[in-house]
A and B are shown apart, each in its own frame.
Chain A
């Protein structure tokens, strides 16, 4: 099992994106993890930190069809799924695909639209198909949604329900760039748009192939048990009202595999679990009210749990 070429491809891809989005390698990696695991990403951050730029850079690198949907309060489901229009020449209804029918979708400010429209998006994400006028239409094989949302305490937003958050594999935030990186951004802004200089180095088929390889990443029983330990701990934690669902566990496993693959390995190690767990299970838990009083967030609790679970190390086989 030699994945040298594939590993190289991923490394190239991350490097490529990083030329545009400066100093956010960890974020890029996480998004790649989601891409390889077949999940979707929710980026929660304030406006202007480069969410759109990041998504567009990734789409361009892959050479995939990129669609952007700006969610507004008056957006209707048909605005994103597409709709059938009566063609007077042919006397038939013709389906006009909406922006959801792309490979890589940037769903900007997803929490500013009505729940009805949100559900349409989420259905597509979950089922891989959308239903328009009673006809179920398949989405492309590569269907990758990167949704962004402003932090929910902002006004005029519709917070995503927990059940819908569960459909995102990874939730992350980008954060402010460091001082040096911001300086680099300033220097570069004087020139041309860096996105235009970005070449695509993969094709959609490559991504699909990489996904198949990701599925074959070996996860030993000890690692699986480690994952289960973590998940179980979220269900028993005194500050957590609702722990991670089995879907979350499955998602974590897939993310771990993808992370191992991104790290150029064909087997998973505990470090993979530690690296992705906060982003995979953090948004799947519902905290108790007490947690907010104690200024605990989902992330701090996940870190606390990881800090308590024993890492599987030595091989089970008896020594000597």
Chain B
């Protein structure tokens, strides 16, 4: 009867413990990419259940390990069968690679798979610790930590943990109450009264409710200091400014929905998001275009989603080109990886889009296309018109002649824009008399050596500082967002309608395949697009030609193609292949961009022979150049980062030593004691002193006014025996008596006494444990 009651009480403990653990793990589903509550819930339930069922250790270990693997499969390998060696091999490979990265101090590039693995292993460990605390009856620490965690999350993140805190508080109080009840029972006390249990539980309940009510109803002081979170965000350690794509709230290079606050440093992230197999070449992949500059970043005028159905040309945002632009139709297939966000990028003028037959919707303001239900798709097939602009026609465009909708949306500037930005814009474009040359003047100005490209050491505008103003006049260092935003603002300042487009650049050229479809040979170019390819650029409106893409970011080539010449321009078009080649000449396009002197200047690399380039099979040499630039910066960061890591490891080691000093000091003294043989006064003195040090580590310290005997009595009382007193009585002869040497017949006895005392000291922890085991 007693055991049944105990088992059920334990069950209550495990249940409530699981609830608390769940509430602590739950923020993960909102703050990271692990957005599946049932999997984490199942994970906690299974590990706790294994422990509750008192399965043997190996079974618990195997069960936990399998649950970790299952969770990994759920999040990353759903497209593969659960019982398949392949994905397990991938996990193993990922672990190997990421461990190597860890050893190199390369925390930033750890893959999501590895982070997830670590998360689940940690969750498992915490669950084990929780089980131990439940069994041992020490629950308060966990309770306290859980509340601390939730409070911190509530304060510093957008996670609303108030409900969780209430649940954890009530569960924790009940657990503490039940543990007390069990302790009282174990101590053999009898309950009096007719219904002892119900009285007890009623009391626990009343106390919980009272505590909660007092907490909720009590008056609360207003915060005495500003939210520290805003301050913490400003602290940015180079190389650590990003916590990886794993945390959706982190600052990273890569696609990000929120462009409201731009600025700050970025880390590198080479997680592949999708691959493209396209008949076109070197296309940028557009996700959205935004029209309102706020002084800090970009937002769109309104979110008006419309179901997307053909013909797409009736949506003005999907109809960018006008009569003077030649187009050719291309097709592309985009295959998304697990890491990609829910996006449907496209290029040029969209004619057909299919996303696994799903209903799609279009943001009419930004041109962003999403599935109606917001869910991700695996593949996307599109057909689109790739433009070729005629420079002569573009040059004919003066200011004016823009439709009202364009004038209203794409000339907006905030009133707060500093006047010197406008003056600079006039100075740059003043000598040009047409829109195209004005745009190119701005591009050339931004690509001049005055500005340098970097993803780190980029400051974030503070206070009322304008993002563009800071970049143009103060920092003069930045990445695509800085350059593209600056160009849009400069152009708008002189009345040229322009908009800010974000998406991905063409990515890394992987290879090409030629297939025969319908009797025609079609060459398809394969690209891999990673988070590092996330990009932003500029589109300028030219009446008659439509929206033309410009690339103001150094070391990047633009997507659009131009026909015509630009006589007398020292700095040629960065975005265009001047030869006016057609769209079919795929790699040559890139090679030509590569040979532009501007880029050599930027990258500092030797121009490579074309042949060699072909062998390297990289069509996106511009991206590659950018890569090498990033690598140079990265090397510095890696070293600094390694330094930080090293310091961190040492600090952690020291902390560990400090926290466990009692244990290892005891180990040292115990070892030393073994070597101390009692032979004469001095050796006895040493051995006895060493014993005292050991005892002090166990919390037994002789006060100075205590005699040796009084202390020995205390020690013997604690460890039940009389060894210490016997040893002390011998020792007294040497301290207070006149004895100098140990008689031969006593030597072994004295050493034996020392050993017996140490023996009682040493296994104190294990002994308690084994007692517990027996009790169960």
Contact = CB atoms under 8 A, between A and B. Distances in A.
A268 B736 contact: yes
Nearest to B738: A218
A269 B705 contact: no
A311 B735 contact: no
7 contacts: A267-B736, A311-B704, A311-B705, A312-B735, A314-B689, A317-B681, A319-B686
A274 interface: yes
A218 B737 contact: yes
Interface centre among A220, A270, A320 (most CB of B within 10 A): A270
Contacts of B704: 310-311
Given A271-B709, A306-B705, A223 B736 contact: yes
Contacts, number: 63
A220 B705 contact: no
Given A307-B705, A309-B705, A220 B681 contact: no
Interface in B683-741: 685-686, 688-689, 702, 704-710, 732-738
Interface in A242-285: 265-271, 274
Contacts of B708: 269-270, 311, 313
B682 interface: yes
Contact of A310 (B682, B705, B709): B705
Given A314-B685, A314-B689, A317-B681, A274 B733 contact: no
Contact of A314 (B705, B735, B738): B735
A196 interface: no
A309 B733 CA distance: 22
A153 B689 CA distance: 51
A226 to B, nearest CB: 10
Interface of A: 218, 220, 222-223, 265-271, 274, 306-315, 317, 319-320
Contacts of A307: 705
B522 to A, nearest CB: 89
Nearest to A308: B705
Contacts of B732: 267, 269
A interface, over-half SS? loop
B303 to A, nearest CB: 80
Contacts of A265: 737
A305 to B, nearest CB: 10
Interface of B: 681-682, 685-686, 688-689, 702, 704-710, 732-738
B738 to A, nearest CB: 6
Contacts of A314: 685, 688-689, 735
Contacts of B682: 317, 319
A311 B732 CA distance: 13
A269 B734 contact: no
A223 B702 CA distance: 18
A111 B738 CA distance: 44
Given A271-B707, A311-B706, 7 more contacts: A265-B737, A269-B707, A308-B705, A310-B705, A311-B705, A314-B685, A319-B686
Interface centre among B688, B689, B707 (most CB of A within 10 A): B707
A35 to B, nearest CB: 23
Given A218-B738, A220-B737, A223-B736, A270 B685 contact: no
B38 to A, nearest CB: 66
Nearest to B732: A269
Contacts of A266: 737
Interface centre among B688, B689, B735 (most CB of A within 10 A): B735
A270 B731 CA distance: 13
A319 B736 contact: no
A1 to B, nearest CB: 9
A176 B704 CA distance: 34
A160 B686 CA distance: 52
A315 B736 CA distance: 8
A311 B704 CA distance: 6
A310 B705 CA distance: 5
Contact of B709 (A220, A222, A269, A320): A269
Contact of A271 (B689, B710, B734, B738): B710
A307 B706 CA distance: 8
A51 B296 CA distance: 100
Nearest to A318: B682
Nearest to B709: A271
B707 A317 contact: no
Contacts of A319: 682, 685-686, 689
A318 B607 CA distance: 78
A88 B264 CA distance: 132
A309 B732 CA distance: 19
Contact of B736 (A269, A310, A320): A269
Nearest to A223: B736
A267 B705 CA distance: 20
B685 A267 contact: no
Contacts of B681: 315, 317
A191 B452 CA distance: 115
Given A315-B685, A317-B682, A319-B685, A222 B707 contact: no
Given A315-B681, A317-B685, A267 B737 contact: yes
A218 B685 CA distance: 20
A81 to B, nearest CB: 43
A271 B710 CA distance: 8
A157 B710 CA distance: 41
A218 B735 CA distance: 12
Contacts of A220: 735-738
A270 B707 contact: yes
B412 to A, nearest CB: 84
A274 B710 CA distance: 11
Question: Which 8 pairs show the lowest CB-CB distances between chains A and B?
Answer: A267-B737, A270-B707, A310-B704, A269-B736, A271-B707, A220-B736, A311-B707, A271-B709
A272 to B, nearest CB: 9
A147 B644 CA distance: 83
Contacts of B685: 314-315, 317, 319
Contacts of A274: 707
A320 B683 CA distance: 9
A265 B738 CA distance: 12
Contacts of B686: 319-320
B40 to A, nearest CB: 59
A256 to B, nearest CB: 11
Interface centre among B682, B708, B737 (most CB of A within 10 A): B737
Nearest to B710: A271
B737 A222 contact: no
Contacts of B705: 306-311
A218 to B, nearest CB: 6
